[in-house]
Amino acid sequence: MDKIKVLIVDDSAFMRNALKSMISSDSDLQVVGVACDGVEAIEKVLSLSPDVVTMDVEMPKMDGLEALRQIMAKCPVAVIMVSSLTVEGAKTTLKAFELGAVDFIPKNLSDLSINIMNIKMMLTDKLKQIGGRKLRPNSRPVDEPVQYSAPINQTKVVRFSSSSKKMAIVAIGTSTGGPKALQTVVPLLPKNFPIPVVISQHMPATFTGPFAERLNQLSQMQVKEAKQGEKIENGIVYIAPGSGHMSLMKKGTDRIISIAENAEYIYRPSVDVMMLSVAAANPGACLGVILTGMGNDGLKGMRAIRECGGRTIAQNEDTCVVYGMPKAVVDAGVADKIVAINGMAGEIINSI
């Protein structure tokens, strides 16, 4: 197989060398070039045709966001942002997702000598999963409304749940590529959506609050970051905070949010933790949705939703940034339906 070609864009010589060393250590990856500013990045994307780009934000001549905007207009390619784990870094990264970036890696590599194996594994896994798909994403200008259009072959029916119960909650899980996917789905849910929606998106704690705020600005439904001990209400979308794992607990007729640690689950916030609790609290009356992402987080939860009599939907391969989490669900025979991302909101509405 051909190696996955990577372009590194960063104004720091230390970061360029650190990233190059980690990437070059993997035999499936090849660093085809480096750039120290946005202008040079655009030139090298056009001349080198990389499969994936790592993009810094703060750079001279042209910053990473403007470079990303121009790259998506001239020669779209998969871009992974190199972001600081701060609130401002989160806001910048979310803006980058809206411009077409597919994922991010942490800028803070100060603990490189201590945690180098974990950082290297995270970086190389993302590059191989994302770059290996030879992704050429379509970008959508910031604040341009999402329009629903039914794609060809948007839905594949594997089987349909025999549940006759009315759905009481929607649970959505996602990871790599999820911010863009959620910005395609959630804004299309109507203001009068009759039940609550809970979402676990793998994200650091500093990112989930700004992400909920941004999604709220784009959506008809109210979107908020979930809080410990609050009662979930109909018509509200709850984003799991990255500070722990979100689950639901029954208290009388109420469903209460709990945020807690659980060493058994490595992905944070865990989709499985959320969906397992949703199935337990709403047997036969829950809809599980699994979107783009690496790994298999969500498989246990989607199976539990299916086995309790609920319904399950998985994103199709063609529209995933990484077909990992949905693939695990589909391969296990747990998906009732397989749906393209631009048909997902309509399918959710029809399924409740």
Tell me if residue 175 is catalytic: yes
CA-CA distance, 231 to 40, in Å (whole number)?
A: 51
Does residue 318 contact residue 344 with C-beta atoms inside 8 Å?
no
Which residue in 175, 200, 243, 351 is the catalytic one? 175
Using left for φ > 0, alpha for ψ between -120 and 50, and beta otherwise, residue 77 falls in beta
Tell me if residue 245 is catalytic: no
Cα–Cα distance list, 280 to 266, 291, 306, 333 (Å): 22, 21, 11, 21
Which residue in 51, 272, 297, 336 is the catalytic one? 297
Sequence-distant (6+) residues with CB within 8 A of 17 are none
Tell me if residue 2 is catalytic: no
Does residue 285 contact residue 308 with C-beta atoms inside 8 Å?
no
What residues pair up with 83 in beta bridges, in sequence order? 106
Which residue in 202, 247, 270, 351 is the catalytic one? 202
Sort strands 52-55 and 78-83 into parallel, antiparallel or unpaired.
parallel
Does residue 109 contact residue 15 with C-beta atoms inside 8 Å?
yes
Active site residues: 175, 202, 297
